[in-house]
């Protein structure tokens, strides 16, 4: 029975045991939808284009005092645990890299479905963050219960403020991405990264020099503009990459450092949207197995901005090209010049030039490049990008 009283709505019904259950009606805040955008072909593309505004909103939220208690608790922790599934796990892994390198804090990223079935030894002085777009993923919820049972502090980083995860955690960082309609996560993923960066900058304040902190803050501030630049890349620039991937029988996404988890996310996006089989690997692992796959039908996508690891990535590309494979480089202007100067067989190399990035911004920029690439391949194959087969938006079962 539905009851209306003084503007409040509640629903009364009976449980299986005959108990009366009352649930009150809660209006949902549906902010974040960018209606001012031009009409997009589908929700996935619209959500990809919403990312610069989402990141701006997240940064704005971190400028206030709203998250101070959770930020303080995380800053005091001896170890930061980051737990999620699918893309939320890859965001956690990116977080691990960023927290260890720039926050100088011990961090562990865990797949929730594994964490809950092993017997993790937990440190009572740690803090666990649970990342989930939906806030309803069963494995992640169960992992959270395990941590809570040991009286260890928990936080939910979720896009659904009234979700089970948000209700059960000690503290919540809402993602403010607006409703993500596409089954394929894009803007909620980069919003998770933005939340992690917001936390990182607070941790780095205590553990890094002023100069390093200022450099990180400056780089983070540029992210929305860098993403806007990517979203302006013309279709002609993407075409050669798409054509290569359409012909490939083996597709590898390869990156080093923080771009290794981005490579995992890139491969997942391609699988989900276009049903092409792709694998993500740390580029340094190529010689430990996957190189056996490489032949003329293999296309390797290298996430290769000009940085201290670029020469290593270039040499990994050489290994694939020497075996007849094709290399796609997602890089920047300096990287492109270095590739052209190198002795790589240029006929087997395809390059897409992105803006120059810094230590924080590169994971955002290369994630969005991978999203765009996957989207374009999927559209070419006529796939339903918003509703890929066999997938659900919230995985509430095992």
Q: Interface residues with ligand M6R (CB under 6 A)?
A: 84-88, 132-134, 137, 140, 183-185, 272, 391, 394-395
44 vs 244, beta carbon nearer ligand M6R: 44
Angle between helices 361-380 and 223-231 (to 10 degrees): 20
Shortest Å, Cβ 101 to ligand M6R? 24
The pairing of strands 2-5 and 8-14 is antiparallel
Q: How far is the CB of 182 from ligand M6R (least distance, A)?
A: 8
Q: In whole angstroms, how close is the CB of 47 to ligand M6R at the nearest point? A: 11
Closest by Cα among 190, 332, 201, 335 to 262: 190
173 three-state secondary structure: strand
140 vs 154 by CB, closer to ligand M6R: 140
Q: In the complex, what is the shortest distance from the CB of residue 181 to ligand M6R, in angstroms, rounded to a whole number?
A: 12
Instruction: Yes or no: say if 277 and 251 are a contact pair by the CB < 8 Å rule.
Output: yes
Smallest distance, ligand M6R to C-beta of residue 88, A: 4
Pick from 175, 95, 193: nearest CA to 133: 175
Among candidates 153, 119, 115, which has minimal Cα distance to 137?
115
Instruction: Give the residue among 94, 133, 88 at the shortest CA–CA distance from 111.
Output: 88
Q: 270 or 354, CB closer to ligand M6R?
A: 270
Shortest distance (Å) from residue 214 CB to ligand M6R: 33
175 versus 344: smaller Cβ distance to ligand M6R: 175
Is residue 363 within 8 Å of 98, Cβ to Cβ? yes
Nearer to ligand M6R, 140 or 361 (CB): 140
Instruction: Return the residue matching tokens 């902010």.
Output: 31
Provide the 10 A C-beta neighbour count for residue 386.
17
Q: Which residues on adjacent β-strands are paired with residue 326? A: 299
The residue nearest ligand M6R at its CB is 86
85 vs 197 by CB, closer to ligand M6R: 85
């Amino acid at each position: 029975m539905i009851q209306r009283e003084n503007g409040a709505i509640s629903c009364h019904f009976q449980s299986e045991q005959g108990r009366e259950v009352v649930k009150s009606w809660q209006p949902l805040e549906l902010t974040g939808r960018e209606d001012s955008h031009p009409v997009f072909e589908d929700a996935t593309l619209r959500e990809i284009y919403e990312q610069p505004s989402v990141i701006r909103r997240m940064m704005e939220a971190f400028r206030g005092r709203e998250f101070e208690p959770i930020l303080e608790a995380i800053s005091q922790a001896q170890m930061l645990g980051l737990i999620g599934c699918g893309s939320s796990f890859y965001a956690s892994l990116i977080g691990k890299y960023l927290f260890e390198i720039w926050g100088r804090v011990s961090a562990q990223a865990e797949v929730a479905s594994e964490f809950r079935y092993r017997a993790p030894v937990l440190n009572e002085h740690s803090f666990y963050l649970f990342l989930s777009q939906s806030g309803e993923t069963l494995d992640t919820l169960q992992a959270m219960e395990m941590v809570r049972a040991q009286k260890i502090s928990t936080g939910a980083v979720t896009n659904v403020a009234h979700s089970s995860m948000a209700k059960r955690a000690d503290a919540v960082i809402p993602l403010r991405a607006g409703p993500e309609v596409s089954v394929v996560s894009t803007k909620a993923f980069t919003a998770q990264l933005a939340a992690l960066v917001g936390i990182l900058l607070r941790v780095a304040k205590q553990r890094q020099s002023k100069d390093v902190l200022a450099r990180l803050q400056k780089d983070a501030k540029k992210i929305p503009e860098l993403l806007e630049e990517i979203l302006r890349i013309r279709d002609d620039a993407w075409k050669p990459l798409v054509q290569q991937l359409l012909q490939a029988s083996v597709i590898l996404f390869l990156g080093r450092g923080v771009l290794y988890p981005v490579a995992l996310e890139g491969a997942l996006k391609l699988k989900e949207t276009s049903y092409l089989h792709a694998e993500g690997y740390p580029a340094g692992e190529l010689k430990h197995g996957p190189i056996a796959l490489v032949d003329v039908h293999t296309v390797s996508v290298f996430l290769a901005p000009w940085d201290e690891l670029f020469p290593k990535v270039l040499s990994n590309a050489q290994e694939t090209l020497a075996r007849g494979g094709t290399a796609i480089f997602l890089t920047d202007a300096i990287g492109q010049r270095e590739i052209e100067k190198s002795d790589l067989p240029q006929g087997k190399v395809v390059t897409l030039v992105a803006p120059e990035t810094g230590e924080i911004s590169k994971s955002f920029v290369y994630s969005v490049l991978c999203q765009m690439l996957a989207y374009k391949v999927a559209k070419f194959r006529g796939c339903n990008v918003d509703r890929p087969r066999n997938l659900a938006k919230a995985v509430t079962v095992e």
